[in-house]
Amino acid sequence: MKIGDKMTKEVVTISPKEGVTVAKHILDEKRIRHLPVVSAGKLVGIITDRDIRRNLPSPATSLEIHEIAYLLDKLQVQVVMTREVVSVTPETSIEAAASLLLAHKIGGLPVLDGERLVGIITEGDLLRALLEREQEGGEEIGMCWLADAMGESSPDRVLPGK
């Protein structure tokens, strides 16, 4: 299964010159965690909710809330964004995309057709694709016990299909 069918095609983007406050507002308003940064139609980076949190002042700061907002507004997305973006094409398989997410410990991958941004695939998109495959009678997902997921095993527990 290719990600071209499962990706989010209507991608919300931001300019590298925008303020971090604008990026935070977009992420919050759209309820998304990954915001591709585009300049002159080309992907130049990605900013995430984690990038923004990392650049917030410490809760122990003596700055007042309006001072923090002012500073964040002056801070441009291009300063905070990740420039080395891991991306995929619409022809990339679901499994390859999942492997990239795990290997790079990220939650989303911009989808490029040449240099043109055509979508984004996130952990949520991949989970939906996996569940759809299961419901369509594809490969069996099976059940996972919390202890197994945490690396603990119990010899008296047998998972379905084992």
> 91 or 154, which is more confident?
91
pLDDT at position 15: 97
62-82 average pLDDT score: 80
Q: How confident is the model at residue 6 (pLDDT cuts 50, 70, 90)?
A: confident
Higher-confidence residue: 155 or 31? 31
Parallel, antiparallel or unpaired: strands 42-48 and 108-113: unpaired
Give tens-digit pLDDT for 85-139. Answer: 999 999 999 889 999 999 999 999 999 999 899 999 999 998 888 888 777 765 5
Averaged pLDDT, 2-14? 89
CB neighbours of residue 157 within 10 Å? 11
pLDDT of residue 71: 74
Task: Give the pLDDT confidence of 23-61 residue by residue, as tens digits.
Answer: 999 999 999 999 999 999 899 999 998 998 887 666 666
Residue 103 pLDDT: 94
Give the torsion through C-alpha atoms of 77, 23, 57, 102, to 10 deg: -80
Mean pLDDT, range 11-25, rounded to an integer = 94
For position 130, what pLDDT does the model report?
Answer: 82
- Residue 118 is predicted with a pLDDT of 94
> How far is 84 from 27, CA to CA, in rounded Å?
20
Residue 3 is classified by DSSP as G
Positions of E strands within the chain: 34-39, 42-48, 108-113, 116-122
Q: Residue holding tokens 């202890």? A: 147
